[in-house]
Structure 1
């Protein structure tokens, strides 16, 4: 009975203390897609993805209701770093739903305006945000009415300065003046408390990821005792600490006077066997403002498990060389890191010649018939002196030129039907990383779908007569980027190649930039007129070291630009549902396609090749 009364009281006092408008709330997921287009259209960094921010302490004076309810100490504010634009998961600041929606767009504009990129340095919160506001409104005058509506509505919701204590009243008056007249306030008046948060401005001191090094002497621990779980993907503040001694107990509290930088720190050795409940551990993580991270050789009841052990030399694929060194792009330094990655060409050790799998034979026969007809299919070629039919557009242009006296030279007014010359070379580069071990449905894994796709792709291109090669790649840090040769350009497609396809298996990580550079070199040596580099993947670039995140994306984009500069045509096929967040930045809007149902990939891949080459070679 006491527990029920306590729960009822908690709900009651929490609802009374809450100052938002839940009935008018707008969720980030509702506006994420159009907001991303809006953000990038204004000049925002196209490599950044939009995601939810994390609540942070604001250290403003709380009302007595908030203190009784134990709420109101944290706030979700917008900010960004080199990988993401962080916005509140839900906005219910205003009683009108439309204003909450407009607030999302205003925050995206404030963070995305190119002219404001160097303004927000965290030195002077109120002055920085005023300068951002002024430059955003100056560059995009159409946002002025939206801004005025947001400011007018917000002023009505903020406290009247006369009702506050003198020091806090001076701060609130300065903020309201800065909102109504950006640029009119240069400094924040001093106070014992931080000011009430301003949802129209960016975070004064956004959470920053501490320098967490993955250097662990090459050892990757695995083998947890219990279940694994993916934690909620939100940025959290953390710092690297040394592992406390056994039985050690130290506790301290650190206070800082800077605005919004109040934090608590407890260095406490909590034994892992006390926290077997995953839900309890996750709740503790969600309630923590600053996480301390350390390395420990002991196992825990539950953690994410990765099988990263390299096979023995007797069982591993056969290396074809000691390695080929390639550079890597460092986007922070804006320079290439010379000889940074080691590509190791490899070939399957255990592959045995085999026929095409029985369940693919019917589809393979149909595809072979379709592709055999490509080389014999004629195409209409325009701009000929004589031909089989009149080019009406060319004729009308010619008659117009004659009427205006612009020229009466020998006109090219005809179409001719000619055999299609398929001077084409294609390399298919398949991602064989650990993520391909995931299940597509109850019967097949991603790697099974990739095997079937490669089988049908090879059968189709062999029938067409086009030059083609198939390679796979995975990586384990920059020193070990595996480049598996399945079929090279100078090899004949046969049962041995089919055996290599059947033998592929999930590898490690996805250092895509190095693999693309090596593929570019191999494909660039081919004498064909058109060179197509098709990349088949199920996720974004990543690796154990700093290749995770923005570094990997920027290096991959640089490698793709290098391939284009050499005359290659890169095109990506993906089954990653989050592909729209990063592939447009890597390949451009027309440079990739998303296969919604992964089990359809084997049938779709040859058709995609036919469509792409038809466009490239001028087929109709």
Structure 2
């Protein structure tokens, strides 16, 4: 009973101290699509991803109730860097859903103009507000409404000490009349956060009080709300778990923080409520204790020994990679290794695929080349009796000029196209769908059904799969070449596919381009199957991987290819339009439907 009363009292005091309006809250995950469209339509960098902003710590003057509740120490504020636009996860500052939503729209519009640097935070924000209102005058009423409500939310300058009051008055003047304030008066505390402005990039470092690196993105399937937040952390000396019976730090007895020694080198399991606990902690202490590294389990994905690995086809192929920061290629930066499975054995089509495969073969057989007679030809295999009869009639009538097209010729009506299917078999394909079927199993079924359909249509096709472990080892699994028949050998290679490592898409796409360019067909299709965003252990993460993949897709377009992406990643709408274009990808909402949808997508793509 005492605990229940304490929780209720804590909730009540916190709610009163926050001064928010929970009933009018607006969440970023609900507005993400609209904000993304607005940001890009107003000239924002299309490569930036929209993610949640982590709280910033402020030392502001707080009222007694706020101190009692422990609130107003950190705030989620808008900022952007070269990889992402970060906005608060939730807005409930104003007593109107419309105004809270307009704050999201205003911040996205302001961020479309660029970044804010620390040395020009005050002048930079005022200049950006002036520039935005000059460029889009229709935003003036929105800005005035937001300023009116923001001034009501901010502290009264008369209630603050002299210097702090002057600084608050200057901030209010800068909001009402942008460009009128050159600098803020000095004060002992931080200024109250300006929610209508952008803030500088948070520093990434390893010293006390800074934010440890985390790019706030996740390549796992999921929505915006599942993305990670960066945490404020400090480096401390290693905690010795053998120090007698004392399993906690005495200084934490007088704080709300809890000390939990977790060895991340040997234990990478997921704890319940881990995110909630991390959100409640002001500072996460990180220590480095590797004394028992030799006996700990190593979770890094090491490559298997050569005797247990797949067969390597050749010494490897060196390929370039696009560095978007330098706006230049890194020549021979990646090594792609063609592989052939040792474990694969010739296998028939699995029993559960035989019936849908029979249906697909019947449908796609209508696309195979047909022999057709072309009439009224100057030369050919046989006389065209109808043309000869018409010429005889014209001769009897005394027509001046008689046509000479008296033959017919048999030609084959052939689809002049080739397709290369490239499958992502990274570690994420080991994820289970509906707790009974893995993504890799669904992908294998999809590859086999599509292959059965293409065999019936007689379209030349090739099958490859890829995964990577850093730039020097990109595995390119050979399943079927263009000149190989699709038979039990190819089916066995597909069935032997297992989840690999990471997803370095750019190199795999570039090698596929080379293979397709060697084909004589006039129409060449590159079909990519994936379940997530480009990523790898090294620098191939975040925007770097996206930009390299986008450049590889542009190279495919320049080579006359048709690149098309099929994915089951629910977050794909955030980055695939930038990589492939708005019409060159499709998201399969239900992954279980992938095997049946692939042949239909191919038919629509080549019709």
Shift of 1:73: 1.1
Aligned to 2:432, the other structure's residue is in SS state coil
Q: Is 1:286 matched with 2:279?
A: yes
2:230 aligns with: 236
TM-score by length of 2: 0.82
Q: Is 1:54 matched with 2:47?
A: no
Structure 1's 279 and 600: CA in aligned 2 closer, same or farther, altered over 3 A? closer
Determine the C-alpha separation between the residues in 2 that align with 1:451 and 1:277. Answer: 29
Asked if 1 retains the 8 angstrom alpha-carbon contact of 2:233 and 2:284, the reply is yes
Aligned to 1:159, the other structure's residue is in SS state coil
Asked if 1 retains the 8 angstrom alpha-carbon contact of 2:213 and 2:230, the reply is no
Asked if 2 retains the 8 angstrom alpha-carbon contact of 1:422 and 1:466, the reply is yes
Asked if 2 retains the 8 angstrom alpha-carbon contact of 1:423 and 1:528, the reply is yes
Determine the C-alpha separation between the residues in 1 that align with 2:232 and 2:533. Answer: 25
Q: Aligned runs of 1:214-293 on 2, under 5 Å?
A: 233-237=227-231, 241=235, 244=238, 246=240, 271-272=261-262, 278-279=271-272, 282-291=275-284, 293=286
Q: Aligned runs of 1:317-332 on 2, under 5 Å?
A: 317-332=310-325
Determine the C-alpha separation between the residues in 1 that align with 2:315 and 2:235. Answer: 39
1:386 aligns with: none
User: Which of 326, 333, 345 is the equivalent residue of 1:333?
Assistant: 326
Determine the C-alpha separation between the residues in 1 that align with 2:479 and 2:461. Answer: 11
Determine the C-alpha separation between the residues in 2 that align with 1:99 and 1:213. Answer: 34
1:390 aligns with: none
Aligned to 1:313, the other structure's residue is in SS state coil
Structure 1's 290 and 298: CA in aligned 2 closer, same or farther, altered over 3 A? same
Asked if 2 retains the 8 angstrom alpha-carbon contact of 1:236 and 1:290, the reply is no
**5+ residue gaps, structure 2:** 215-224, 252-257, 373-410
Shift of 1:165: 1.8
Determine the C-alpha separation between the residues in 1 that align with 2:101 and 2:51. Answer: 16
1:575 aligns with: 568
Determine the C-alpha separation between the residues in 2 that align with 1:277 and 1:603. Answer: 34
User: Which of 527, 533, 543 is the equivalent residue of 1:540?
Assistant: 533
Shift of 1:283: 4.6
1:92 aligns with: 92
Q: Aligned runs of 1:119-518 on 2, under 5 Å?
A: 120-204=116-200, 206=202, 208=204, 233-237=227-231, 241=235, 244=238, 246=240, 271-272=261-262, 278-279=271-272, 282-291=275-284, 293=286, 295-297=288-290, 308-376=301-369, 420-518=413-511
Deviations 1:312-361 (A, max 9, x none): 32232100011111111111111111111100001111211121111111
RMSD: 3.2
Structure 1's 458 and 563: CA in aligned 2 closer, same or farther, altered over 3 A? same
Determine the C-alpha separation between the residues in 1 that align with 2:36 and 2:424. Answer: 27
1:587 aligns with: 580
Aligned to 2:491, the other structure's residue is in SS state helix
Structure 1's 568 and 212: CA in aligned 2 closer, same or farther, altered over 3 A? farther
Determine the C-alpha separation between the residues in 2 that align with 1:476 and 1:74. Answer: 38
Structure 1's 164 and 11: CA in aligned 2 closer, same or farther, altered over 3 A? same
Deviations 1:234-272 (A, max 9, x none): 3324568586385899x9x9xxxxxxxxxxxxxx99743
**5+ residue gaps, structure 1:** 215-230, 254-267, 380-417, 615-620
Asked if 2 retains the 8 angstrom alpha-carbon contact of 1:238 and 1:293, the reply is no
Deviates more, 1:60-69 or 1:5-14: 5-14
Deviates more, 1:21-30 or 1:5-14: 5-14
Q: Is 1:598 matched with 2:591?
A: yes
Aligned to 1:573, the other structure's residue is in SS state strand
Determine the C-alpha separation between the residues in 2 that align with 1:81 and 1:293. Answer: 26
Asked if 1 retains the 8 angstrom alpha-carbon contact of 2:239 and 2:261, the reply is no
TM-score by length of 1: 0.81
Asked if 1 retains the 8 angstrom alpha-carbon contact of 2:505 and 2:534, the reply is yes
1:225 aligns with: none
Shift of 1:190: 0.7
2:33 aligns with: 33
Structure with max Cα Rg: 2
Deviations 1:456-475 (A, max 9, x none): 11111111111110000000
Structure 1's 456 and 587: CA in aligned 2 closer, same or farther, altered over 3 A? same
Asked if 2 retains the 8 angstrom alpha-carbon contact of 1:122 and 1:128, the reply is no
Shift of 1:127: 1.3
Shift of 1:613: 0.7
Shift of 1:106: 0.2
Asked if 2 retains the 8 angstrom alpha-carbon contact of 1:172 and 1:195, the reply is yes
